[in-house]
Structure 1
Amino acid sequence: MPASWPKFANPLIPLEKMLNKKSVFSIIFWLLLAGVSVTAVTFAGLYLYLSPKLPPVDSLRQVKLQTPLRVYSSDGKLIGEFGEQRRTPLKYNQIPPLYLKALLAAEDAEFFEHHGVSLRGMLRAASQILKSGEIQSGGSTITQQLARDFFLTRKQVFSRKFNEILLSIQIEQEFTKEEILELFNNKMFFGNRAYGLQAAAQIYYGKDVQELTIAQNAMIVGVLKAPSAYNPVANPKRSMARRNWIIGRMHELQFIDKAAYDAAIREPNTASIHGSGQETQAPYISEMARKEAIDRFGEAAYTDGYKVYTTVDSAMQATAQVAVVNGLMNYDDRHGYRGPERRLAASTNPEMEDWQDQLQAIPVLGGLEAMAIVTVADKSISLLRANGDRLELDWQHGLSDKRPYLTEDSRGAAPKSAKDFLHPGDVVRVGRDKDGQPRLTQVPEAQSALVSLDPNSGAIRALVGGFDFNQSHFNRVLQGTRQPGSSFKPLLYTCALEHGFTPATMINDAPIVIRNEYTGEVWRPENDEGEFDGPISLRRALYRSKNLVSIRILKSLGVDTLIDSLERFGFNKKEFPRELALALGAHGLTPMQMATAYASFANGGFKIDPYLISKIENGQGEIVYEAHPKRVCKTCPDKKAETLTDSAEAPTGESVAEEEHAPRIIDARIAYIMDSILKDVVDKGTGVAAKSLGRTDLAGKTGTTNGPRDLWFSGYNPNLITTVWVGIDKNTLLGRREFGSTAALPIWIDFMRTALEGIPNQVVRQPDGIVTVRINPETGKPALPGENAIFEIFPTEISASGSTPAGIADEAPADETLPEGVL
C-alpha cells in the first residue's frame, strides 16, 4: 500500500473480533447447556433413584401427635398431666396472626408464594452468613423443615437435603398452606418438653397462645432454631438477640409498625418455667386417675391424648387442700419448734450460688419454702431464697413464739433472742400468715387425710392423701390403715338397734376388768375422761362416747354378730379379729372405708360404692368409658339392684339399659334413729364444735385411739359425707391433750364451711313405722305424769317400755372372762 494513501482501519479486523466473540459466546453457551444437561440428568437420576424410596406424604394425614394424658375436675379444670411430650394441638384458625407473622419473618417470608422450595430464601440466608458471620435464617422453607422433622434426620448430607426438597414439593401438592402451618406448629419442639405452640406458650409464659405479646411470640419462634441454644430461660442473652432480630425482620417486612417495633424491643425477657397450667392442685387425685388410665389403656395413655374427667369439684378440692395444710400447721404450732431442717457448709462465693443450688433441690412443701439463714441478729434474721433474693424476718414474724419441742406433751421456754436457736447456714421453712406476711415455720411431723363423698352416688368430691404429694406419694385415704377409735362405734350401735336395743336402753357405765382365761392377761378399759356415769341410755352413751358401754353392748351381741353385720358396709369380715376391742375401733381401717360406711347414715341406709372417674375421652373426643354408679333412690322398692353392666368392664362407653339403684343395707327406721343420735354428737356431744357452722343438719362422730395415735372425725349432712384423719406415719404419740375434736374436727369444719356454703339446711323425712314417746331419761321407761321427761323415738313394733336385753342393765361383776382369743 502506498505510503501516500490515507490510513484507514483494516475492515477485516472488526470482523475477526466479531468472529472471536461469537466463538466465546458459543463456547460458553454450549458449556452452560452441557452443565445444565448434566445437572438435569444428575437430578433426574437422583430423582429416579430416590423417589421410590420416599415415604408417602399423605401419611401426614394419619400422623398421630403424641399428646399427654390430662385429668380434669368435674367442672372442667385441669388437675393433672402425664406424658413426656407436653402438647396441646391447635387448629389453624386458633393460631394467632402475630405468631404467624413472627414465624414467617424468621423462617420463611415467601411461604405463601413458593411451592415448597425458595431459591430466594437460600440466597438470602447465604448473604446473611457473609454479612454477619452467623446463621440468622435457614435456607430451608417451613415445608422443608416439616418434611425433615416428620420423615428425615438432621444429618447434613446431600442426599438428605435432596430428599427434603422432593418431599417438600410433594407436601405442597398434597396439602394446603394452612394445613402445612397447622402440622408444623403442632409438631415442632420448643424445648422443655414443649411440643407445639400452645405447650410452649404455657411452659414459658403460663399463658394461652392468644395472650402472647409481639416480643413473646418472637421469643418462642426464636427457640425453634435450636431449642437448647436459644432457650429463653437457660440462655437469656442469646435468646434475646435472636428475639430482637426477629422483631426487626417483622418491622422490615411491614408486619408491624414502628411503634409496635419500639415497644417490643423494649420489652424485657419475662420467660420462666411454668407448670402444666393446672388450675386446681389435686396430685393424689391425679395419681389415682393416672393409674386407672394405665390399667385401661397401657402406655398409650401417655401419648394418645386421653382426657380423664373425674367427679372432683375443683372448689371443694382447693378448700380441702387448704384445710388439711392449715389444720396440720395449727397442730404443729401447739407442740413446739423442732429446729432447722439441715445446716449448709459455709458458702464458697460472695453470691452464695452454691447455697442457691442446694436450696433449689429442696421442694416447696405445703406452700412452705426452704431458705438459708445468712445472718442472725437478736431480734431478726436475714434469709437467702433459692432464686438468690433476700428476705428479712423480724421478731414478730414467727421468731418470738418458737418455743422448742421437748416431747409430744411439753415445750421449752420462749426464746429471748433469735441467736438462741438459729445460726447462719441453717435451712428453715418460711410460710405465710393469714395476712399474707412471711413467717418462720416448719413442715409438720403429723400427717392428715381427707375424703369427701356424695352419699347418694359415691362420687368423690375432694380427696387429700397427705400434707404434700411431693413429700410423700403415700395416699393415706386409700392406703393408710389406722385404728378408727370411737368413730367406729356407730357401726356397733347400728347392729345393737337391729338386735332389740333402743335409744332408751340403759347400759351400765362402770369399770370392767376382762381377763383372758388362756393367757391370764388383764384388760381394764377406761373412758376417755376417766369417769363413770352408772346406768346411761344408749343414745347418751354414744354421743358422749362411753367406751365401757360400747364394750358391754358388744359383749351382749357377741363379736361374731357384729363382724357378720359389717360385711354389708363393704368390709372384709375375714380381716376382723374376734376381740371385744372392736367396740373401741381397735381394728385398722382406711379413711375411704370409714367415709363409705358413714355414707349409709347420710343417705338413709343405702350402700354406695365410691368412684372417681365419670368418663374418659380419647384423642378424637370420643367417650371410651363412662361410669354408671348405683344411685340412692328412696322412693324405689327396697331390693338389691340387679347388675346390668359392670362399669369396670365396659370401657367402650356403652350405657346400661336403666339406672341401677344402690341397695338398702340398713332399715330406714334404724338409719333414721342413728342419724338422730349422730346429730346429738354435734349438738351436745364430742362434736359440738361443728355447731359453729350454724347448721342443724350436721351429724357425725369423733374418734381418738389410745395414746393418742389416731384422731378422727367422720361427719355429714344429706349432701356430703367427709372423713378426716390425723396421725403420724410412724404411729408415734400425738400428745395427751389431743383428741379427734381438737385436731381432726377443725379440719372438717374448715372444709365443710366452704363446701356447704349456699346449701340450705336439709330436713330428713321421718320414715313410716317410727313413734315418739315421752320417757324418763333416768330409767329409759315411759314417763309417768309429773315425772321429768324427754321425747325419744322407737320403731313401732318395739316396746317403748325401755326394757333391756337380759343382764345389760345390771351391775357387772368385777371380773369377767372372755372367750378364746379375745383381749
Structure 2
Amino acid sequence: MKFVKYFFVFVFCCIFFGAIFIYCVYKYVEKSLPDVTMMKDIHLQVPLKIFSADNKLMAQYGEKHCVPVMLNEIPLLMVQAFIAIEDRRYYDHHGIDVIGIFRALIMLIISGYPSQGASTITQQLARNFYLSPEKTFLRKAKEVFLAIRIEQLFTKNEIIELYLNKIYLGNRAYGVGAAAYVYFGKTVDKLTLNEIAMIAGLPKAPSTFNPFYSYNRATNRRNIVLLRMFEEGYITKNQYNYAKKEKIKTFYHIAKIEVNAPYLSEMVRQTLYNKYGENAYIDGYKVYTTIISKHQLAAINAVQNNVINYDERHGYRGASEILWKSGESSWGISKILKKLKEISKYMELEPAVVLSVFKNSANILLSNGSQEVITMKGVRWARRFISDEKQGIPPMMINNVIHAGEQIWVRKIKNEWYLSQIPDVNAAFIALNPNNGAITTLVGGFNFNLSKFNRVTQSLRQVGSSIKPFLYAAAIDKGMTLSSLINDAPISRWDSGKNSNWRPKNSPAKYDGLIRLRQGLGQSKNVVMVRMIRAIGIEYASNYLTRFGFPLENINNTESIALGVSSFTPLQLVRAYSVIVNGGYLIDPYYISKIENNKKQVIFKTTPKTICSNYINTQISYDNFEKELLKDKIIDELIKTNDVIYNNKVIDTLKNKKYQNNLKNICAPYVINEQIAFLIKNAMMTNIYGESNWLGTGWRSAKIFMGRRDIGGKTGTTNNSKDAWFSGYAPNIVATAWIGFDDNKRTLGNTHMYGVEVGAKSAQPIWNDFMKTVLIGVPIRKILPPRGIISVSIDDKTGKLGSSLKEYYIEGTEPKDYEIKELELPIFTEDNSDREELF
C-alpha cells in the first residue's frame, strides 16, 4: 500500500509539474505564435498563367507548382490514404495525438533514437504554414500549441483541405492537385489507387521517396501506404493486391505551352509585376490576352522561315566550333554527346557534329544520339559568305563546305537533313484588329532565347517609304487628288550643310515624267514624294503625321521626311496604318483582355475605344442604329438614355449631350476624314495590284492572293537597305513586318541571284506567308466607298475626264473638264545636313 501511495504521489507530481512546465512553455512562446485566424485569408502560391484569346496556355511564371482543389473535388480514397499513413486517428484527436506521442516515446526509449513520428496532420499543417523544418524542442512546442488553436478555429474538413493543398510533395509540387499533374499529368479525380498511394507516401520524405529520385523507394513507400489503407479498412484485399502489383508509370510533367508567344508573354509578365510586385507570381492570376493562336503560329513560322531564307541566300559563314581538326584524333561518341547536350536548340535548328565526310554525303551526330546523313542537296545553298554584298561560288562537293570534327547546325525538311546556321539578321512582326486595337499576334525577334530584345516595341528604325501613305493623306487633305499630276523627274539641289548636291533618286532609277499621285504611291516614286512635300509644306506634313500617333520628337522636319528618315517602332507604324484601314480613327493597341484572380473573379477588364463611324451621322433610322450598336457591343452604354425613339422614328445622336459624353468615352479619336482614309486605303490596294500599264512595288502579293480585292499594303526600304518593311491590311486585320540587323551599321545587302534586298523581297514575304494562313476560309469583303466619295472616268495620262479608267474623289474635287493643266507646285527649300537618300 505504501508503494501504491508513493506511486500515485509520483504520478500526481509528474502531472502537476508537467502542467506547470507546459504552461510556462506556452507563456514563453505565446507572444511569438502567429495568429492562426490569418489562415482563412492565406492564398496558396499559385503561379501566374497567361492565355491566348482562345484559352490556350502561352506562359507560366512562378517557382512553385500549385493547383488548388476543393475537398469535394478530391477523391475520398486520396483523403483516406493520407489519413491512413500520416494520422490514423485524425478525426478523433483535437490537434495532437497523445497515443501517438506515447508510442513514439516508448520507441525512442527502446531504440535510442526517434524511429517514429508523432506529428498529426494538423501539426504538419501548422509547420508548413508558419514554422521552419528545424528539429528543436521549441519549434515542436510551437507546433503543438498552433495545432490546438487550429483545431479550435477550423473544422476537420477545412483542415484536411488546407493540408492537401499546402503539403510539399517533391519536384516543386505543392498540394495533391499539383502532384497529380507533375507526376502523372492528370487531375486528382483521374488518379488510380496505385497513383494515389504513391502521392500519399511522399510527405515523409518528398525528395527521396519520389519515383524520379528512386523508383524502388517510391514503390516500397507506396506499398506501405496500401497496407495501411487495407488495415484501416479503406480498401479490400483484392484492391490491395492488384494495386501492389502495378508499376508506377510516371514522368515529369510541366505545363504544356500551347501557343509560342514569348515576347508578348514577357510584356504581360512585366505589366503584372509592375502592378502587383512579387505577388504576381504566387497569387494565381490568370491573364487572358488578345493573341489568336492561329495568327501567332502563322507569324512565328513566317518570321523564322524567311529569316533563315534570307540568311542562307547570303552564304554560309562556317562551323560554329571546330572540335578536332584533320589529322587529330576524333572525339568519342560519349564526349561528343556531352558537348551537344550543353548546346541549346533553337526551334527547328539543332546542333550536330560532323563525324565523317565523303564526296556527296556526310555523317552527323545529333544530341539525342542518333546518327544521320546530309546529302549534297542539304548543302547546295551554302555558297561561302564573303560580305553582305558578296557570296562565293556554289559548292560542288560536300567537303567544300563541312568537315569532320565541326559543330554545325542542321534542320529537318521533309525527312531530309539540311545544313543551316544561326541567323545574324533579325525580324519583327505585329498584327492587330484595326477596329479596336487588339493585338492578335506579336513576334519580337527570330528567337526569344537568343535575344529577349523586343523589336516590335523597343526598336526605333527608319521606316523608309512606309511613311508615304500618311504624307499622301496630308496632301489630299490639302486639296490634291489621286489624279493630281506631279513631275517624276530627277531632283538636284545644293546642300550647303554637306557642301554637295542633294539628289534623291527613285528605285529603280526610272523616271516617267508627269504621273498621277496614285501611281506615285503605287510605285513608291521618291522624287514625286519630295515634290509633293514641297507643295504642301514641311511643317504641315510633319504636324500631320502626329495625327496617326507618331511622336513629334521622332519626326524629321526636313525634306527628307518624304523619304522616311524618321524612326518609329513597328508597333507605332502598325497603329498608324490602322487609322487608314478603319476609316480615320486612332485606336490604342492593347494585349490584355482580362485578368482573373485565383477565385476566378475578373479583377481587370480592358474596354477599348472602338470605331464609332455609324454614330457620327446626324440622323439614322432606329433599326440600323440598334443593329450597329449590337455589332460594336456598346448598346448598353447608349441605350441607357431615354432619347431613343422606337417605331422606326429618327434618332439624333449628336444633339443629345449624354450621347456625346458616352461617345467620347467609348469611341476612338477621329483624326482624319473617312473619305481621305478610304482614298489612301484604295491607293494601297493599287500598290499590290497596280494598273493595266504598270506594277506596284507590292505586286508579289497579287500573285499569291489572286482574286482577292480586299487587301492592300505598302513596301518600305531605307538608305542602303538597312531596314526593310511591309505593312498591309486584310479584313479585320492590319500587320507590319520588319527585317534588318540589330547592328545598324550593316545593310541587308544583295545577292547574285536575288538582287538588292528591299522591302518587297525581304519583308513582304513574311507578310505574305502570314496572310496566306490567316485568310484561309475568310470570305472576300467588298470594300464600299463611304458617303461623300464618287467615282469618275478619267484619262490615265492626264488625270482629267476621259475613258481610260475610273478614279475615286471626294465629292467636289473631281475633274470638271478635259483640259490638260499641269499642277503648279511651289518649291520649299531648306539647307539641312541630315538629308539622306532613301527609297
Q: TM-score range by the shorter chain?
A: 0.7 to 0.9
Equivalent residue in structure 2 for 1:770, among 777, 789, 796: 789
1:707 aligned counterpart, secondary structure: helix
Distance 2:296 2:116 in 1: 48
Deviation at 1:603? 0.5
Partner of 2:812: 797
Q: Tell me, which stretches of 5 or more residues in structure 1 are unaligned?
A: 1-22, 640-655
Partner of 1:679: 685
Scaled by the length of structure 2, the TM-score of the pair is: 0.83
1:477 aligned counterpart, secondary structure: coil
Report whether the alignment pairs 1:554 with 2:533: yes
Partner of 1:366: 347
Deviation at 1:478? 0.7
Judge which range, 670-679 or 84-93, deviates more. 84-93
Distance 2:247 2:376 in 1: 39
Equivalent residue in structure 1 for 2:373, among 393, 402, 410: 393
Seen in structure 2, the aligned counterparts of structure 1 residues 820 and 584 have a Cα distance that, compared at 3 Å, is: closer
1:479 aligned counterpart, secondary structure: coil
Report whether the alignment pairs 1:735 with 2:749: yes
Distance 2:80 2:337 in 1: 40
Amino acid paired to 1:108: D
Amino acid paired to 1:665: V
Distance 1:120 1:49 in 2: 23
Distance 2:511 2:610 in 1: 43
Deviation at 1:146? 1.0
Q: Does the aligned pair in 1 maintain the 2:313–2:381 contact within 8 Å?
A: no
Deviation at 1:697? 0.8
2:666 aligned counterpart, secondary structure: coil
Amino acid paired to 1:427: Q
Distance 2:524 2:778 in 1: 30
- Counterparts of 1:98-137 in structure 2 under 5 Å? 99-118=78-97
Q: Does the aligned pair in 2 maintain the 1:347–1:355 contact within 8 Å?
A: no
Q: Which of these two proteins has the greater Rg computed from alpha carbons? A: 1
Judge which range, 244-253 or 527-536, deviates more. 244-253
Deviation at 1:80? 2.4
Partner of 1:426: 406
Partner of 1:407: 387
2:734 aligned counterpart, secondary structure: strand
2:448 aligned counterpart, secondary structure: coil
Seen in structure 2, the aligned counterparts of structure 1 residues 30 and 76 have a Cα distance that, compared at 3 Å, is: farther
2:135 aligned counterpart, secondary structure: coil
Deviation at 1:271? 1.9
- Counterparts of 1:1-12 in structure 2 under 5 Å? none
1:475 aligned counterpart, secondary structure: coil
Deviation at 1:78? 2.7
Deviation at 1:407? 2.8
Seen in structure 2, the aligned counterparts of structure 1 residues 261 and 805 have a Cα distance that, compared at 3 Å, is: farther
Equivalent residue in structure 2 for 1:296, among 263, 270, 275: 275
Amino acid paired to 2:346: L
Partner of 2:801: 782
Partner of 1:642: none
Partner of 2:642: none
Amino acid paired to 2:461: R
Deviation at 1:430? 3.7
Report whether the alignment pairs 1:47 with 2:22: yes
- Counterparts of 1:20-35 in structure 2 under 5 Å? 27=3, 29-30=4-5, 33-34=8-9
Amino acid paired to 2:297: A
Distance 2:778 2:366 in 1: 46
Seen in structure 2, the aligned counterparts of structure 1 residues 146 and 477 have a Cα distance that, compared at 3 Å, is: same
2:139 aligned counterpart, secondary structure: helix
Seen in structure 2, the aligned counterparts of structure 1 residues 259 and 612 have a Cα distance that, compared at 3 Å, is: same
Distance 1:226 1:349 in 2: 42
Deviation at 1:73? 2.2
Report whether the alignment pairs 1:196 with 2:182: no
Equivalent residue in structure 2 for 1:702, among 708, 715, 719: 715
Equivalent residue in structure 2 for 1:625, among 595, 604, 609: 604
2:442 aligned counterpart, secondary structure: strand
Deviation at 1:218? 4.5
Partner of 1:442: 421
- Counterparts of 1:432-581 in structure 2 under 5 Å? 432-433=412-413, 435=414, 439-581=418-560
Partner of 2:74: 95
Partner of 1:667: 673
Distance 1:537 1:359 in 2: 60
Partner of 1:759: 778
Partner of 1:689: 700
- Counterparts of 1:308-327 in structure 2 under 5 Å? 308-327=287-306
1:338 aligned counterpart, secondary structure: coil
Seen in structure 2, the aligned counterparts of structure 1 residues 136 and 331 have a Cα distance that, compared at 3 Å, is: farther
Seen in structure 2, the aligned counterparts of structure 1 residues 317 and 105 have a Cα distance that, compared at 3 Å, is: farther
Deviation at 1:451? 0.9
Q: Does the aligned pair in 2 maintain the 1:190–1:224 contact within 8 Å?
A: yes
Seen in structure 2, the aligned counterparts of structure 1 residues 806 and 150 have a Cα distance that, compared at 3 Å, is: same
Distance 2:37 2:829 in 1: 84
Distance 1:218 1:132 in 2: 29
1:522 aligned counterpart, secondary structure: strand
Cα offsets for 1:439-469 (capped at 9, x unmatched): 4422222211111111111111111111111
Alignment: residue pair count:
768
Deviation at 1:698? 0.6
- Counterparts of 1:169-248 in structure 2 under 5 Å? 169-233=148-212, 238-239=217-218, 241-243=220-222, 245-246=224-225
Deviation at 1:516? 0.5
1:635 aligned counterpart, secondary structure: helix
Equivalent residue in structure 2 for 1:69, among 33, 48, 51: 48
Distance 2:597 2:576 in 1: 34
Deviation at 1:722? 0.8
Partner of 1:267: 247
Deviation at 1:312? 1.9
Across the aligned residues of Structure 1 and Structure 2, the Cα RMSD in angstroms comes to: 3.6
Cα offsets for 1:681-736 (capped at 9, x unmatched): 22232223323235221111111223222111111124111111111111312232
Q: Does the aligned pair in 2 maintain the 1:516–1:822 contact within 8 Å?
A: no
Judge which range, 438-447 or 491-500, deviates more. 438-447
Q: Does the aligned pair in 2 maintain the 1:248–1:261 contact within 8 Å?
A: no
Seen in structure 2, the aligned counterparts of structure 1 residues 381 and 776 have a Cα distance that, compared at 3 Å, is: same
Distance 1:43 1:111 in 2: 25
Report whether the alignment pairs 1:37 with 2:12: yes
Deviation at 1:214? 4.8
Q: Does the aligned pair in 1 maintain the 2:201–2:222 contact within 8 Å?
A: yes
Seen in structure 2, the aligned counterparts of structure 1 residues 128 and 472 have a Cα distance that, compared at 3 Å, is: farther
Seen in structure 2, the aligned counterparts of structure 1 residues 466 and 520 have a Cα distance that, compared at 3 Å, is: same
Q: Does the aligned pair in 2 maintain the 1:579–1:821 contact within 8 Å?
A: no
Deviation at 1:436? 6.0
Deviation at 1:110? 4.5
Q: Does the aligned pair in 1 maintain the 2:798–2:820 contact within 8 Å?
A: no
Scaled by the length of structure 1, the TM-score of the pair is: 0.84
Q: Does the aligned pair in 1 maintain the 2:376–2:398 contact within 8 Å?
A: no
Amino acid paired to 2:697: T
Q: Does the aligned pair in 2 maintain the 1:397–1:440 contact within 8 Å?
A: no
Report whether the alignment pairs 1:336 with 2:315: yes
Seen in structure 2, the aligned counterparts of structure 1 residues 391 and 243 have a Cα distance that, compared at 3 Å, is: farther
Deviation at 1:138? 4.3
1:774 aligned counterpart, secondary structure: strand
Q: Tell me, which stretches of 5 or more residues in structure 2 are unaligned?
A: 619-660, 691-695
